[in-house]
Amino acid sequence: MTPSKLPGRPHIAYQGDNLFIEACSVGDLARTHGTPLFAYSQASMADALQAYRSGFSGRKLHVCYAMKANSSLALLQFFARQGCGFDIVSGGELARVLAAGGDPSKVIFSGVGKTRPEMLQALEAGILCFNVESEAELEVLSEVASHSGHTARVSIRVNPNVDPKTHPYISTGLKGNKFGIAHERTLAAYRRAVQLPGLHVSGIDFHIGSQITDSRPFADAVDRLLDLVEQIEADGIAIEHLDFGGGLGIDYAGDTPPAADVLWQELLAKLDARGFGDRQFIIEPGRSLVGNAGLCVTEVLYLKPGEEKNFCIVDAAMNDLPRPAMYQAFHAIVPVHRSAAETSTYDVVGPVCESGDWLGRDRELAVQPGDRLAVLSAGAYCMSMASNYNTRGRAAEVLVDGAEAHLIRVRETPQDMMRAERLLTD
């Protein structure tokens, strides 16, 4: 039987009328582990990583997985075993990298609000580089490093003022965003960095946003970055590596982002033309490695007809899948078992007591209570942003490798959620 594949998701397909992730029946996974349930395809993540490596074939490359997209330990372990480093934004994320067996010497520490204890934690772990996001941060990092007897390798994150044409909440490279040092202040920041004790200037960095589906913002940002490198090196300051961040989008709803290998072949041609093709490169992909590798299985609880809307009420909610409520984001929703029955139009909503608790608007579905649905493109910014709102435990997770499904997170219980709390003693 030839599988009926879903666009952009080669390892998620129907066999007959039943949905499979690799060689595992999604329905069987739900029966075994319950719902809501996140399932991830290991082959999908491997393919996505290989596309980047193919694009940089023959170049000096560090891939640092942007783990804010999904920080589940088994996924981090998978990327560590593939030789990846990690882009972190907190001390807690560094602890996760170490717990998963990651190499701290391949870790990049980004983020606008690093604390002194986090800086010291990273220095003692021996991370690769700090992506510094303000001139004030340079001063504090110098103080922490010099007082502790360490040297902090630094890369200044430049805000190139390039519009990534994405959702405003995930745009990070415009003047009005909180991230990075303004393009016009970058040379002065490098001059200060080389004067400060405890710092070693290593590279330069940009990251202009997330879910970018057009190559032009990347090309514009690369041009602006290279202009700066020429100025900085003309000033006698060596730039050892170029960090291009991440942000490449995925196909949520017919989106057509460039393939990672095609994008980077295009950008490397630009780098070669300007004499930078032999540098050490760092990239920080997140969503594009894990987003379409994951799905969330949910059970239909009730069908509720209304005068203006029909509601399909499911057991997954905004605490499990926050992107629709937070970004008005679209996720495709498909049946775990296809039916030939007549469809109706539903808003797919969860049980949380908020009108913003919706997973999909105006979806054509043939469903009955007890049926299961799969919310696609759920590998990124779902579990990592999940919460316990309404005292709802976070979902179980499985990592699928061919016909094997490994339980990588058990379902959270009320006891798990209350473990750190204390009652009054009088």
CB 334 within 8 A of CB 366: no
Q: Among the options 64, 129, 353, 382, which is catalytic?
A: 353
**Is the preceding peptide bond at 10 cis, omega within 30 degrees of 0?**
no
| Residue 135 labelled as part of a binding site | no
Q: Which residue has the tokens 């992107």?
A: 323
- Whether 64 is catalytic is no
CB 332 within 8 A of CB 352: no
Helix, strand and coil percent figures for the chain, each rounded to 5: 35, 25, 40
C-alpha–C-alpha distance, residues 267 and 213, integer Å: 15
CB 374 within 8 A of CB 300: no
| Residue 249 labelled as part of a binding site | no
Beta strands in 67-220 (DSSP E): 85-88, 107-109, 129-132, 152-159, 181-182, 199-205
| Residue 102 labelled as part of a binding site | no
What are 300's strand-pairing partners? 314
| Residue 419 labelled as part of a binding site | no
Q: Which residue has the tokens 């001390």?
A: 91
| Residue 381 labelled as part of a binding site | yes
| Residue 224 labelled as part of a binding site | no
Residue 12, Cβ neighbours under 10 Å: how many?
A: 26
| Residue 176 labelled as part of a binding site | no
| Residue 285 labelled as part of a binding site | yes
How far is CA 99 from its chain centroid? 19
| Residue 287 labelled as part of a binding site | yes
Binding site for pyridoxal 5'-phosphate: which residues?
A: 247, 284-287, 381
Would you list which residues are annotated within the binding site?
247, 284-287, 323, 327, 354, 381
- Residues placed in the known binding site for substrate: 287, 323, 327, 354, 381
Catalytic residue positions, numbered: 353
